[in-house]
Amino acid sequence: MQKQTKVKNLNNKEKLSPSSKTTNPIDKSGLIAKINILGNGMGAIKEPHVSINHHTDKAYSSVDYAGFIRTVNEIIKNNCELRDCLNGFHNLFMTYLNCSYTALGIINEKSNTINIKLIDKNSSVYSFKVFMNDKQNEIIKTLDTGEITTINNSAFLKIPTLASLPSVIIPIKFQGKNICVGLASDYNVQNHINLYELAANHLGLIVQNSSLYDKVSQSSNMDSLTNLYSHRRFHELLSQEIEFAQSNNQKVSVMILDINDMTQINREYGHSKGDEVIKTVANKILSNIKKQDIAARYGGDKISVILKNMNAEEAKYMAEYLTYSLSCCLIDDIGPINKVSVGIATYPDDSMDKEKLLILAEQAVLVSKTKGYKNGRSTIVSTQDYDFWDDTALNSFATVMAKRHSQIGINFEEALVDQFQNENILSRNHLIEVVTSLASAIDAKDKYTKDHSSSVSRYSVALAKAINLPEKEIESIKLGSLLHDIGKIGIPEDVLRKPDRLTDEEYKIIQQHPSIGVKKILEPNPLLHDLIPIVKYHHEKWDGTGYPDKLKGDQIPLAARIVAIADTYHALISDRPYRKGLSVEKACSILEEGAGTQWDKELVRQFISIAPSLATMI
């Protein structure tokens, strides 16, 4: 005779359930016993005392136990989200046990409540709370006893349409502690009690695992030192805020604050003092920004703030308030925190791309550092306060890109070209300034090509003047020679900087740079179309053996012939990894030997006559 289970019934005295004539494959001596043995180590539900209230609308023998167990396994195997698991168990009880409703209440210790979600057989959903101190509530009574309870009605739920239905309340525990409670309406509860216990054991593990996962996720979202959002979470939130701003035609500003002198503080006073400074800054920022705004640990001694629906000027005002508040904070041994560099970038004014927005904000921080301090506090800089092509700004941009290249897969040259293409050119002089900065920034990557473009431009202009070209053509030659090697941005570094002789394959790659420069830089910009012949054909040779189109003699544009001579001359007199730069005399001798085959003979003659004076040009 199988062992009987006891249930607390609030409407009848306790009594034993009648023996079933149908074999139950998950009775207490079988599967349930094994699950409880495994679960008891984790505090799963222990065998309750059962008293039965007899309602037999559905025959006990009609339950498909094998199907029930199989479905439980499928629910757990196929669903990762708690919500999906709970919906799966609801459908399980509706299908196999003919329940009129099911509910799960999860205990919230902080609010001292049980948050309950109930779904009836018509898929109507009810959500409500029960307070843990409401000792007269049937759910709380059941949790206090720790026993499964059956009631002839569901009036305690205060849902009129369900009031007349019977109910069963099931405490769900983990490690001996109530973590949630299950409810169902089932006229055959006395025959299904083992199934409810099976489901409760699984639900306890599922809810507990979900809670642990939430805690781990919350931990990974927060920085342990500052209690600000983590760097990873900051990126997620910024993406969300940009999407929201785009949908609502709003602006979003990103502020990055860099605490200066942290290396010195850590070295002189110890890392604990450095941590104290960072925490103080974090707390001050949290207490002074708007409730809607978001602060995060950006990394090391940097803190970032997402300022919702705020333009650059408003963001600068907020930054001024924050830096003033920080200057009023005194740290023992250190004094006031008044050296905090601040950079600001705004969506969509500065960029509509999140990564580019952050690059510009970091660039602004570095510009802020170079500007020093004003009135005892750091200068606050937005991307709208400086010319991108200014030397300081450009060097700052290069520094940021060098750090972020591996993170975002965009290198300095690509980002620089993108900025160039989006530049609002206001005049021809502005164009010359931008082109000069672009060429210089790319040359600066390699000490052996540093100032190469500007030198070639200087030599080309001198030769153009020597043969009395019109001023307009000289201006084009000046710009074209500045950009003559711009296509090398598309050439792999290992090929471009190789100190040894190039292989045939590598030489073919190098030969692509004139065409790359035309396609990536000149063709997209109508103001630069007149420079295309210079950039594209400055490697053509007088005898037709050059590239890319093997033009010959006068087929090569005059401006390209001029730049070709200037380019070769500067390469000859410059130091290279494999040799020292040649003398002016030796370089001119090489040019003279190639006159009429590689270069225009008359242009070489003119260039040699002015070469000695080029070394003294400023």
Angle at 598 between CA 596 and CA 604, to 5 degrees: 60
The residue among 187, 152, 154 whose CA lies nearest residue 62 is: 187
174: its two tokens? 């983990």
Residue 179 pLDDT = 83
Apex CA 505: angle with CA 503 and CA 510, to 5°?
Answer: 90
The CATH fold assigned to 222-407 is Alpha-Beta Plaits (3.30.70)
CB 211 within 8 A of CB 175: no
How many angstroms separate the CA atoms of 244 and 225, rounded? 30
pLDDT band at 80 (very low <50, low <70, confident <90, very high): low
**Contact of 507 with 491, CB cutoff 8 Å:** no
Reduce the DSSP state of residue 298 to 3 states and report it. strand
Give dist(CA 523, CA 331) in Å, integer. 57
CA count, 13 A, side-chain hemisphere, 266: 11
CA distance 35 to 48: 14
CATH 3.30.450.40 domain residues, the chain: 8-219
Provide the pLDDT for residue 430. Answer: 79
Residue span(s) of the chain under CATH 3.30.70.270 come to: 222-407
d(CA 437, CA 254): 27
Residue reference for tokens 């711009």: 486
Residue 76: per-residue pLDDT = 79
- Rounded to an integer, the average pLDDT of 443-469 is 82
Three-class SS state of 401: helix
Predicted pLDDT at 217: 47
- Coarse DSSP helix, strand, coil percentages of the chain, rounded to the nearest 5 percent: 50, 15, 35
User: 525 is written with which tokens?
Assistant: 């910009």
Alpha carbon of residue 222 to chain centroid: 15
User: Where is pLDDT greater, at 410 or 335?
Assistant: 335
CATH architecture of the domain covering 411-618: Orthogonal Bundle (1.10)
Kindly report the average pLDDT of the chain as a whole number. 81
pLDDT at 55: 42
Confidence at residue 61, expressed as pLDDT on a 0 to 100 scale: 46
As annotated, the residues of the chain forming the CATH 1.10.3210.10 domain(s) are 411-618
Between 283 and 419, where is the model more confident?
Answer: 283
> Any idea which fold 8-219 has?
Beta-Lactamase (3.30.450)
Predicted local confidence at residue 42, as pLDDT: 36
Residue 425's pLDDT is: 77
pLDDT score recorded for residue 111: 80
Q: Is the pLDDT of residue 128 over 80?
A: yes
pLDDT band at 283 (very low <50, low <70, confident <90, very high): very high
**539 has a pLDDT exceeding 90:** yes
Question: Which one has a higher pLDDT value, 167 or 205?
Answer: 167
- Cα separation, 38 vs 44, in Å, equals 8
